[in-house]
Amino acid sequence: MSKDWTLSIDFGTSNTAAAHTNPTRGGVEAVSLSHDRMTMPSSVYIETPEHVETGDVALNKAEGNPDGFLAAPKRVIPQQIFQINGYDIPASTPVAAVLESVVRRASREHNDHRPGELVLTHPEAWTDAEIKVLLDAATQLGLNATNIRTVSEPKAAAQYYSANQPLEPGDKIAVFDFGGGTLDVAVLEAQNDGSFHIVAARGDNSLGGKSFDALIRRWVDRQLEDDHPDQIEYLRRRAPLSDRHAVEDSIRRAKEVLSESPTATITVPGESESVRLTLTRNEFEDIIRQPVQRATDLTRQTLIDAGVTSPGDLKALYMTGGSSRVPMVQEEIKSLGPVANLDDPKMVVAQGALSAVAPIVTGLHTSTAPTTPTYAGQPGPASRPGQPSQTGQPSQAEPRKKNRTALAVGAVLGSVLLIGGIGAFALTRGGNDPAENQAQDGGTAAESAGESTAPTQTESAEPKTGEEIYAALPEKLQGAVQNCSMNSSGILAASSIQCKINVNSEGVEHFREVGRYASAYVNLAVSQEAAKRERALIKQGRYSKSDEGIMEESSDGSAAVGVDSDNLYDASVTYADTETGVVMSSFDFASPQDAVDWFKTYDLL
């Protein structure tokens, strides 16, 4: 049996999948990573920086000490360094543990010979810094650095499609990759040599199946508050981690059942008995309507970027990722192009990556991955008693020894693909709860908003980077946010930053309840053009249509906020100030009046 074989790993937010070259049949096949399914949970349990458990073992270990549990390590990659269980941990550490677990399981099918080549997938919009975290993790596996390659998830899906359905030169296809934590959309054009040119691509790293789960959880909480107050009190105050996970699992299964059935049951454990709630597909679609619209808008904009003006301009619009199975998602996307599905959407990317390892995509640039940018003179967060301070540097417990190697890998690899668009940078002004810096699974991120520009600047001098946008915010507002990331999904304009609300900031009580697995988010932009447009829409009542909606403006009329409430969101907020150019949106305020009060607290109205 040949010792030379290739392994691809699709490291996802919720689950990880893999594919390999079969040792006996020679074809590309998925690797079974769990006893009862092909994928494995991406979760990890960090006891110490040197001792990290993965998958189902991590879930089990979390019962004894939930402080070491990280449900979605992919979400901490933009932070570069995060805190958990009393340690400062490089983001590459949990990723390396998951990758090593996959390599070890896959190697069993090759007489325990490790792969000669490793292919890793990533969201299309990841920055160099985020890809570098993936490469740092891969080099810790002991493989030759020159044999580690990366490929974007939409490109891998396109390669899978082209292997089964040949394309003529000039044919265009679109890939809609909707996973557990991210959405990637790309339009690709077939070339004469069989390669693909990426014509346009956009991504949103705040939108995925986890967003749907969090919204269903809000629905569950409201049902319990109305009819079973003791049950919700138990879950919030006394329930063990196993019961809380049981609710999350039941929500996820209900979501999947509703793709096939008109109703699904969600079981909520209690101290004495369980409560069973029935969720209908119509209710589910009402719950997810706004995020699905965000996904549709992003897809439409990507097609416009690529010059696709009618569905007939596409050979196919391929949907992959577990969230693409939701009927409402398919119904909305099919108006944009000839929708086709790629077998098991959770396995397509891993299998397609094996045929995409050569540098055969154009329209992208390659570069050495830089370190995460920091701000000169920016104060770090105050540490809590008994907790390490967060300085943005690796702890001595786990030094970053792989940077030089990873940079060399970045120079060698011709297949490190980058569109850009979502960059991470640490914003940590003021006090900070370390637990709030972990990946958050329970909350939904705010909708993107705004093309960057300062009110007195020309278009050529508009703030384009995350640092520039942040610096253009009013100083008081800067202190209210932390852990910001670039988000160029382009729904309102070209770029914006998505930030967590600092849990120690003034007025935090105006946001919905947050905790270890849920944070409040806002999206911010600085753009005169977007501010004028959004203020006009706010004044027209676009964002305050219901009886509970509120439209309020400043005394001089330059700033206005529109807030609405429905069975999906406690408060859906859009704010614009034509003097400062600040545009903001959020779904995470506790109520419409709370939103208005918060804006007044920060002198924004």
Q: Please indicate, yes or no, whether residues 104 and 165 belong to a single structural domain of this protein.
A: no
Residues 243, 270 within the same domain: yes
- Domain for residue 429, yes or no? no
**pTM for the full predicted model:** 0.59
- Is 139 inside a domain boundary? yes
Task: Report the relative pairing of strands 40-41 and 28-30 from DSSP bridges.
Answer: unpaired
- 175 and 89 in a common domain: no
The answer to whether residues 132 and 166 belong to one domain is no
Q: Is residue 430 part of a domain?
A: no
Q: What is the C-alpha end-to-end distance of the chain, expressed in Å? A: 71
Q: What is the tally of structural domains in the chain?
A: 3
Residues 271 and 162 grouped into a single domain: yes
Given a contact cutoff of 8 angstroms between Cβ atoms, the answer to whether 364 and 417 are in contact is yes
Residues 399, 393: contact at Cβ < 8 Å? no
Give backbone dihedrals phi and psi of 522, rounded to 5 degrees, phi first: -135, 150
Q: What was the pLDDT predicted at 54?
A: 95
Residues recorded for the chain? 605
Looking at residue 182, its pLDDT comes to 82
Tell me, yes or no, whether 314 lies in a domain. yes
Q: Do 224 and 127 sit in the same domain of this protein?
A: no
Q: By C-alpha distance, which of 418, 507, 489, 482 is closest to 450? A: 489
Note the pLDDT of residue 452: 34
Tokens of 15: 């689950």
Q: What's the DSSP call for residue 557? A: S
Q: Which domain-ending residue is among 323, 343, 363?
A: 343
Nearest C-alpha neighbor of 408 from the set 32, 79, 158, 144: 144
Q: Are residues 489 and 536 in the same domain?
A: yes
Domain boundary among 83, 108, 143: 143
Q: How many C-alpha atoms does 156 have within 13 Å on its Cβ side?
A: 35
pLDDT of 494 reads: 57
In a domain, 203, yes or no: yes
Question: If we measure between CA atoms, which residue out of 104, 106, 114, 120 comes closest to residue 4?
Answer: 114
Q: Give the residues across from 263 on adjacent strands.
A: 280
Helix 128-139 with 92-107: angle, nearest 10 deg: 50
Rounded (5°) CA angle 48-53-59: 115
Instruction: Show the domain range for 568.
Output: 466-602
* Residue 340 and residue 363 in contact, taking contact as beta carbons nearer than 8 Å: no
Calpha distance 275→239 (Å, rounded): 14
Q: Is residue 440 part of a domain?
A: no
Specify whether 176 is located in the same domain as 301: yes
Please give the Cα distance from 323 to 330 (Å, whole number): 10
Q: Which of 125, 143, 161 is where one domain is finished?
A: 143
Same domain for 217 and 318, yes or no, is yes
* Phi–psi pair at 511, nearest 5 degrees: -100, 160
> What's the Cα-to-Cα distance from 551 to each of 215, 533, 557, 582, 598, rounded to whole Å?
25, 15, 12, 17, 14
Looking at the fold, whether 546 and 576 belong to one and the same domain comes out as yes
Same domain, 175 and 285: yes
Given a cut of 50, the residues of the chain with pLDDT beneath it are: 1-2, 358-460, 488-490, 516-517, 567-568
Indicate left, alpha or beta for 483 from its phi (over 0: left) and psi (-120 to 50: alpha).
left
Query: Looking at the domain assignment, is residue 405 inside a domain?
Result: no
Domain of residue 139, CATH code: 3.30.420.40
Residue 385 lies in a domain: no
Examine the domain organization and report whether 114 and 173 are in the same domain: no
